[in-house]
Amino acid sequence: MASLQDDLARIPAANRDKPKFRAVIEASVQPFVDLHNALASMPAAFDVDQAIGAQLDQVGTWVGLARAVQIPLTGIYFTLDDAHLGFDQGVWKQPHDPTEGVTRLDDDTYRLLLKAKIRANHWDGAPDSMADMLNAIFGADTHVFVQDNGDMSITVGIAGQIPHAAFLAILTRGYLALKPEGVRVAYVIVTPENGAPLFGFDVHNACISGFDTGAWGRII
């Protein structure tokens, strides 16, 4: 960091004891010292690991992912088979009521997704690395796998801990653009039970398991 004292130390000996001369140098040089320090601090202010608020929003502009994302509205409208959204509890959905809303991500969540977006921008197109990126977003208790269907489509399975609705919206609405060109995402299947693998035959692991263990996934 630049210091005014570094410049004052360069005043010739014949002028060092002249208070007015010194004051003129201080008044002239201090703005340049402040400007130098401000410019030197900018890389850290816009570093994805350190940026906050408006600076992090600007990083998002460079990376290509805005802080505001659209997510489905859940837990609001009347529905059967839900103890908290039944009669006298859930709101009756009218014809023009919205089915989704916009949410602004907090800094920590936004930073996590920006890092995933940066990796996605350099993605090699392989299914395994796609799963690695998604697992890095969702955390250790959520297990993501990608299946190549052999017909220019892929299926994304999400087992274990059910991710937050905002994270699922990031995936299903293409904010990360995680798919090879010309390949479509046929299904995104999520376990309906926290901690449960998806139901499947001939496999028994954290992602897929059979009867009495695996859960019938829901398509989002």
Q: pLDDT digit string (tens) for 56-95?
A: 999 999 998 888 887 766 655 777 776 656 776 666 777 7
- What are 116's two structure tokens? 């995933």
Kindly state the average pLDDT of the residues 91-108.
Answer: 75
- pLDDT given for residue 117 in this prediction: 87
Let me know if residue 138 belongs to a domain: yes
Residue 194 in any domain: the answer is yes
User: Is a pLDDT exceeding 80 seen at residue 99?
Assistant: no
pTM over 0.85: no
Q: Is residue 82 part of a domain?
A: no
Q: What pLDDT does 89 receive? A: 61
Kindly report, residue by residue over 30-59, the tens digit of the pLDDT.
888 889 888 888 888 889 999 999 999 999
Percentage of residues in the chain with pLDDT exceeding 70?
90
Assigned domain for 99 exists: no
With respect to residue 85, please indicate whether it lies within any of the assigned structural domains: no
Range of the structural domain that residue 215 is part of: 125-219
94 is a domain residue:
no
| Count of structural domains within the chain | 2
Q: Is residue 110 part of a domain?
A: no
Confidence band, pLDDT 50/70/90 cuts, at residue 201:
confident
Query: Is 198 contained in some domain?
Result: yes
At 136-169, the pLDDT tens digits run 888 788 999 988 888 998 899 999 988 877 778 7
Say whether pLDDT at 130 is over 90: no
